[in-house]
Structure 1
Amino acid sequence: MREYIYVLKLIPRLHEEKNWTEADEALISEHFVRLKEYCHEGKVITAGKTDREDDKGFGIVVFKEESDDKAEEFMKEDPAVKHGIMTAEVFSYRTALQSEK
């Protein structure tokens, strides 16, 4: 298994809280539940986001996958990406240092 990272960005409409719909909130919930499940399985190493909700904000998911194609597929199956409320780009990744605590 190799490590990958995908970087997520909200679509511009969602930079303002007033523009969020119930459907958007539901997709974010699906996105979170999926990542949490894969984290428990050991596929997702870490996931999180910046505190910014503007165009400079972003999220990341560091995960393990067998190949570049499967990593791309994993990213595209993220509900937030699949349903178009976030854009994403995947990169091969290598952890250089990691806390043991």
Structure 2
Amino acid sequence: METKEFLYQIKPIRSDFLENQLQEEKNALEAHFFYLQNLLQEDKLVLAGPCLDASFGLVILHNVDKEEANSIMLNDPAIIHEIMTGELFPFRISLLKK
């Protein structure tokens, strides 16, 4: 059975990202947020959010295959604009609050 859920972890490329954002980085983060909102409307996003220390963020996708999940990650504005790196993992949602 092909996995239909994936998680990608994004990490800032700079350790001082939270305290010291350039305007271009702020713009890329805004585009990243709208990109994720669009995925939510397309019923491909389950959850997305950052750790409060900005060390990493998570994006959980469903109703996608590996190729689409990888494409979604690589087209994330945070990755395109090289303010974050991404790593994709097959994932299974076992419990979910209704």
Shift of 1:15: 3.0
Name the residue aligned to 2:8: 6
In 2, the alpha carbon distance for the partners of 1:67 and 1:16 equals 32
- Match of 1:94, SS state, is coil
Q: Which residue of the partner structure matches residue 40 of structure 2? A: 39
CA RMSD, Structure 1 to Structure 2 (Å): 1.6
C-alpha distance in structure 1 between counterparts of 2:44 and 2:18, whole Å:
32
Aligned counterparts of 1:87 and 1:77: Cα–Cα separation in 2: 12
**In structure 2, do the counterparts of structure 1 residues 16 and 58 end up closer, same or farther at CA, with 3 Å as the change threshold?**
closer
CA contact (8 A) 1:47 1:59 kept: yes
Structure 1 runs not aligned, ≥5 long: none
Map 1:11-90 onto structure 2 (within 5 A). 11-12=13-14, 14-15=16-17, 17-18=19-20, 20-53=21-54, 57-90=55-88
SS of corresponding position for 1:39: helix
SS at match of 1:15: coil
Q: Distance in 2 between matches of 1:83 and 1:67?
A: 24
- TM-score, structure 1 normalization: 0.85
CA–CA distance in structure 2, aligned partners of residues 82 and 16 of structure 1: 19
Counterpart in 1 of 2:95?
Answer: 97
Instruction: State the SS of the aligned residue for 2:6.
Output: strand
Counting aligned pairs with the same residue, the percent is 29
Deviations 1:10-60 (A, max 9, x none): 112543523x1111100000000110111122111110111013xxx2100
The structure in which a higher percent of residues are helix is 1
Aligned residues: 96
- Contact 2:18–2:53 at 8 Å: present in 1 too? no
